Amino acid sequence: MSGFLLSGMISTKQLATQQIKTIMANTYSQMYIQTVFAVKYREAVIAKSWRSDLMAVIGNLINETGCKTIIVNGVEDHVHCFFSLKAPLSVSDVMKVAKAKSSKWVNESGILRHRFEWQRGFGAFSYSRSHIDNVYRYILNQEQHHKKQTFREEYISFLELFDVDYDEEYLFEELI
């Protein structure tokens, strides 16, 4: 009977949703977030043959948190997610779910011969409604974009564009 209350047979998820609605009554927001995260050691292991499946899994995981996925796309070594963030959640909450469960999906699928992991951390950047189309197109065209710019260059340019303080020593884990 795990996950259910006997009185009225309401699930714990339904109860939590009701509690959030009560706590969050009259709370309205619209936040558009782009997150960027890399494969551990920036290994180029996300093959074209299964990349779209992985992107769909990540998008569905974001949706399962209550957020709304706009687009998820990436290349061999990193992923961009663009979604609207639901008010009671933090970006960290959403990324924790998306990264943990998507790496589990990769590992359980047997796609790779070795263990798959995402790099610790992520970049997160917010946008106004008027930027949705441009951000969508940017993420959609990742393959073409990365013919001109490396992931490292791209990531640093985001940090600088959004005026984020960072220490280059901690940007990425290097291969040992």
Query: Which CATH fold would you assign to the domain 29-170?
Result: Alpha-Beta Plaits (3.30.70)
pLDDT at 168 (0 to 100)? 84
Strand pairing partners for 86? none
pLDDT at 3 (0 to 100)? 47
Report which residue type is found at 42: R
pTM of the model: 0.82
pLDDT along the chain (176 residues), means of 10: 48 62 74 97 96 98 97 98 95 98 97 95 97 98 94 94 89 65
d(CA 35, CA 4): 34
Task: Give the start-to-end residue ranges of the domains of the chain.
Answer: 29-170
